[in-house]
Structure 1
Amino acid sequence: MSILFQCEYRGGHHVGFGIPAEGDQVTLHRVTERRLREVILAAGDLLDVPAALAGAAPTVRTTLADPDLRLRPPLLPGTGDQALVSGFMGTHKSKPAEFDPPKWFFKGLGSWLRLPGEPLAVPAAPVALIEEPEVVLVYLNDAEGVPRYAGYTFGNDLCDIGLHRRDPGYNPYCKLCDTAIAPWLFLGEPPRTASGRTIIERDGVSAWEGDFDCGGDALHHRIADMTGHLFTYPALRRPGLVNYLLLGADQASFHTGFRIADGDRIRIEVKTHGVELTNRVRFDTATSGV
């Protein structure tokens, strides 16, 4: 499988390929964000993207631990205000006889995404949080506003399920928590199988563990049907917009009676794809002044 990542390094935008192991040397190709978008939009096959980008681009060798290197969410534009994070709900229920569009939610702007190692901020007094390991599809709209599939990665749609269960009408509030996303963009079709294990640590020790499966075969709708219906809405088809679509999660810690607390460390290991997201939960302490 072909994997691309973006980073800022010593004042320039670079791309690299694969998921480097800790301490491994990695080759970075100095490629502008505009060039990256052009290549993806022009690609007849996403697997051709790495060769097209590498070409004659200047390179530098370093490691991910280099303090001058900063990874970025896949295809996140500029300040992130030209990107939307949203997702589907109830996608792991039993399969219906015919297509019935799943419920959809708006999570936030692209600037709200958090990389592994960054804290996930939630409201000061959530009712009951839940981690949600999910496949994240990435779409880049072309100059005419046509959404072009660019690949997939993985995320944690952390949210307040307790608030949602108290009243489903509160779901927009429930989703106002930071979202974790992996920096690795998989240049291929959405995965049919994507499974792994979640570990929630408290005070340095494991407090809860459980397995998950978030691949296409675990969903009760065809992904093409879900995305095809969603993109009938013009608001998501604005030229240059990047859409991050969360495909939904199976049962998690909340369903076993566990409750995530302030300071807990959530580690999501997508074992089928060699991806790990680790983030600490931070309850907000600021006051609104209202």
Structure 2
Amino acid sequence: MHLSQLKSGGVIVRENETARLLPGIESIFALAQAAVEQGARIADLLPDGGEAVDLEMLAASGKLDVPVRHPEPARMYLCGTGLTHLGSASTRNAMHAQTEEHVSDSMKMFRMGLEGGKPAAGEVGVQPEWFYKGPGSEAVAPGDPLTSPGFALDGGEEPEIAGFYLNGPDGVPHRIGFTLANEFSDHVTERVNYLFLAHSKLRPASFGPELLLGDLPDHIEGRSRILRGDEVIFDQPFLSGEDNMSHTIANLEHHHFKYAPFRRPGDLHVHMFGTATLSFAGGITPQAGDVFEISSAAFGLALRNPLSVASDTGCTTIRTL
């Protein structure tokens, strides 16, 4: 079962090939709040009826939003984990070279995940690489531009799966569902020095168009493409799900929500689980106007976003009070 959010208000549910507008429901966020309050599953709270809609047409016309937003953007956290997929170390090492005598920090982190990222149920495994992308203001709707700042050295896609979480009144995180994500990053800046990873991640990200309810499939096959006009300049498959990861989802969730500030009641968290497929590793340099397209049958409609580049505003001036 999949849910989509209209920018104008309203929630669409898709079961198989049939999509309908849920009567009396304005947002998936409100549905999640009700599910937390009632101790219920979201799927059990969906009303019957509602008019049939053309979901693909709504997506193409830019009417779908990020599936879940917090009404207060500052209470929505965009974060993620890297080096979590079985092919991710080779991609990262293309940026940070290693020799027989020197093993990169990326490879060390990746090996730690292979050795301890999948603990038994109820046990704690090794912690992953972690990053912060920004507040909810940086969550970009499907079809809207992903904007690279003027000072950036690159603006490249990262095809990932993201989980959405709402903290209950007692601080317990509740998983709402999963979506496709474009964890947009600056890979040239990251390549300068691994310690610039934090800088490279402070960029917008896009999610949707459809939210998958329930558990994440163990094996996910998808495709990542970049279109430049009528030409496809990048086209590669990507894999996700625990069968293709060095960590369990539960272990990644634990190491995010173990921090008390991330369990503040009422906050919304979006957590991106990493990837092993980057056009950057293939020597592609995206340009303004290029369209990123991330798709997977498990998540319904593809996530598409054009790339835009902001003008450089120069040195930031601070005013003394």
Aligned to 1:17: 13
Stretch deviating more after TM superposition (37-46 or 233-242): 37-46
CA contact (8 A) 1:79 1:111 kept: no
Structure 1: gaps (5+ residues): none
Letter paired with 2:13 = F
Structure 2 distance, partners of 1:286, 1:255, is 26
Q: Helix, strand or coil: the match of 1:18?
A: strand
Runs of 4+ with deviation above 6 angstroms = 66-69
Equivalent residues in 2 for 1:1-290 (5 A)? 2-9=1-8, 13-18=9-14, 26-33=20-27, 35-42=30-37, 46=41, 49-54=42-47, 59-60=50-51, 62-64=53-55, 65=57, 70-92=63-85, 93=110, 95-98=113-116, 99-288=125-314, 290=316
Stretch deviating more after TM superposition (193-202 or 132-141): 193-202
Structure 1 distance, partners of 2:23, 2:151, is 44
Structure 1 distance, partners of 2:205, 2:58, is 25
Letter paired with 2:4 = F
Q: Number of residue pairs matched?
A: 280
Q: Helix, strand or coil: the match of 1:111?
A: helix
Report the Cα offset of residue 281 of structure 1: 0.8
Structure 1 distance, partners of 2:267, 2:291, is 32
Structure 2 distance, partners of 1:43, 1:187, is 17
CA contact (8 A) 2:211 2:299 kept: no
Structure 2: gaps (5+ residues): 86-109, 117-124, 317-321
1:30-56 Cα distance to aligned partner (Å, 9 max, x none): 22557513332156663xx2342315x
Report the Cα offset of residue 20 of structure 1: 9.0
Letter paired with 2:170 = E
Structure 2 distance, partners of 1:30, 1:286, is 44
1:222-277 Cα distance to aligned partner (Å, 9 max, x none): 11112112211011111110100000011321112222222211111213433301
1:172-218 Cα distance to aligned partner (Å, 9 max, x none): 22112220110322111122122211111123311121111122221
**RMSD between superposed Cα atoms in Å:** 2.7
Structure 1 distance, partners of 2:275, 2:201, is 14
1:131-172 Cα distance to aligned partner (Å, 9 max, x none): 111110111100122111111111000101111121122222
Structure 1 distance, partners of 2:45, 2:274, is 33
Q: Structure 1 residues 230 and 27, CA, compared in 2 at 3 Å: closer, same or farther?
A: closer
CA contact (8 A) 2:22 2:46 kept: no
Structure 1 distance, partners of 2:2, 2:50, is 18
Aligned to 2:97: none
Q: Structure 1 residues 35 and 105, CA, compared in 2 at 3 Å: closer, same or farther?
A: closer
Structure 1 distance, partners of 2:169, 2:222, is 37
Report the Cα offset of residue 115 of structure 1: 1.7
Structure 1 distance, partners of 2:277, 2:228, is 20
Letter paired with 2:67 = P
* TM-score of the aligned structures, taking structure 2 as reference length: 0.78
Q: Helix, strand or coil: the match of 2:142?
A: coil
CA contact (8 A) 1:133 1:214 kept: no
Q: Helix, strand or coil: the match of 1:197?
A: strand
Q: Structure 1 residues 52 and 220, CA, compared in 2 at 3 Å: closer, same or farther?
A: same
